[in-house]
Amino acid sequence: MKAVVIRQYGSPEVLQYEEVEPPKIKPDQLLVKVHASCINPVDWKIRQGMLRFITGNKFPMMLGFDLSGEVVEVGSQVTRFQPGDQIYASLSPPAGGAYAEFAAVPEKNAALKPTNMTYEEAASVPIAALTALQALRDQGNIQPGQTVLVNGASGGVGTFAVQIAKALGAQVTAVCSTKNIELVKSLGADHVIDYTQQDFTQDTAQYNIIFDAVAKQSFSGSKKALKPKGIYITTLPTPETLVQSFLTALIPGQKAKIILETPKSQDLVYLKDFIESGKIRSVIDRTYPLQELAAAHEYSETGRAAGKIVITVAS
């Protein structure tokens, strides 16, 4: 099969499109003919070697975590899927493999694809939407009527966070730059702050939850904008946020939390219901064929994508 592999860490040029052996599935896995994948920043962070303390130095290495496609074979322990099912899934980092014509997908990481989404739309959902869902629902314990600020509302995680917070009944303030104001309004944001004009950390407004989807504001800097029992959630684990998360868990008052997304079948089913009832859609900025993955990585690395970057693998 065709796949993209890397043989060393480095710039996008290390991504090589070549012939490799198709994966062999374990008893609890599905063999999936991949139709589409997408870019998450973790893909190029691994490619650059930023996460080598987790990913090690064993090459060739396959990247790509989100995928949609058709099940062609199921392992002996698989109970919920059969050949022909259209699924969407996220592989568990650090073991990628979605940038390929076929992928071995653990049953516990997959769900049936939302019926109202194309393969391209469905492939853009898993990591970004699971991160937003697990941050707001599980870390933030979001409640109807609460006020939620999403920083980085135009990004992959942020576009889903705005919609999920609205679907869960919150009043949402979206922070983005001027060019993305109309986009985040179209996703349901009640208020928009243009970060090129206004700094939300210096405003008088206070929020129950500040979800820093792009990890551009610290907990310390956000404290003034948090209600007395407000929760700050970041997507970036750093020594500082780990210490703050540990310490604020011990005392009453404002909390700092870190989201570490977990691929979970039941959460993909939860999102599928939101998608099929029209509460969530995917925002696709650009689409690239698998052969042009390096260009897709380069674009993602600019940090300017509005929504998701999709990779088409097969028609």
Q: Which is nearer to ligand NAP, 25 or 180 (CB)?
A: 180
Q: Which is nearer to ligand NAP, 73 or 194 (CB)?
A: 194
- Supply 49's token pair: 């070697």
- Residues within window 8-67 making contact with ligand NAP, judged by CB under 6 A: 40-42
The residue sitting closest to ligand NAP, measured at its beta carbon, is 155
Q: Work out whether 245 is an interface residue with ligand NAP (CB under 6 A).
A: no
CA distance 257 to 235: 9
Q: What one-character DSSP code corresponds to residue 100?
A: B
Number of residues that bind ligand NAP (CB under 6 A): 33
Q: Work out whether 284 is an interface residue with ligand NAP (CB under 6 A).
A: no
Q: Which is nearer to ligand NAP, 92 or 115 (CB)?
A: 92
CA distances from 147 to 158, 215, 226, 252, 310 (A): 16, 19, 10, 20, 31
Q: Which is nearer to ligand NAP, 30 or 310 (CB)?
A: 310
Backbone angles phi, psi at 8, to 5 degrees: -165, 160
Burial status of residue 260 (CB atoms within 10 A of its CB: 0-12, 13-18, 19 or more): exposed
- Pick one of 65, 81, 88, 195: the residue that binds ligand NAP (CB under 6 A): 195
- In contact, 138 and 102? CB cutoff 8 Å: no
- Pick one of 33, 137, 216, 227: the residue that binds ligand NAP (CB under 6 A): 216
Q: Which is nearer to ligand NAP, 103 or 184 (CB)?
A: 184
Q: Nearest distance from residue 139's CB to ligand NAP, in Å? A: 11
Q: Which is nearer to ligand NAP, 5 or 192 (CB)?
A: 192
Listed ranges 22-30, 60-68, 271-279, 300-308: which one lies at the site for ligand NAP (CB under 6 A): 300-308
What is the residue type of 23? P
CA distance 86 to 111: 9
Q: Which is nearer to ligand NAP, 158 or 230 (CB)?
A: 158
Q: Nearest distance from residue 41's CB to ligand NAP, in Å? A: 3
Q: Nearest distance from residue 183's CB to ligand NAP, in Å? A: 9
- In contact, 299 and 25? CB cutoff 8 Å: no
**E strands in the chain:** 2-6, 16-19, 29-38, 61-62, 66-74, 86-90, 102-106, 110-112, 147-151, 171-176, 191-194, 207-212, 226-234, 255-258, 284-289, 308-312
- Supply 132's token pair: 């937003």
- In contact, 312 and 290? CB cutoff 8 Å: yes
- Pick one of 125, 184, 305, 313: the residue that binds ligand NAP (CB under 6 A): 305
Q: Nearest distance from residue 117's CB to ligand NAP, in Å? A: 18
- Residues within window 145-184 making contact with ligand NAP, judged by CB under 6 A: 151-152, 154-158, 175-177, 179-180
Q: Nearest distance from residue 78's CB to ligand NAP, in Å? A: 26
- Residues within window 119-148 making contact with ligand NAP, judged by CB under 6 A: 127-128, 131
- In contact, 124 and 274? CB cutoff 8 Å: no
Binding site for ligand NAP (CB under 6 A): 40-42, 127-128, 131, 151-152, 154-158, 175-177, 179-180, 195, 213-216, 235-236, 259-261, 300, 303-306
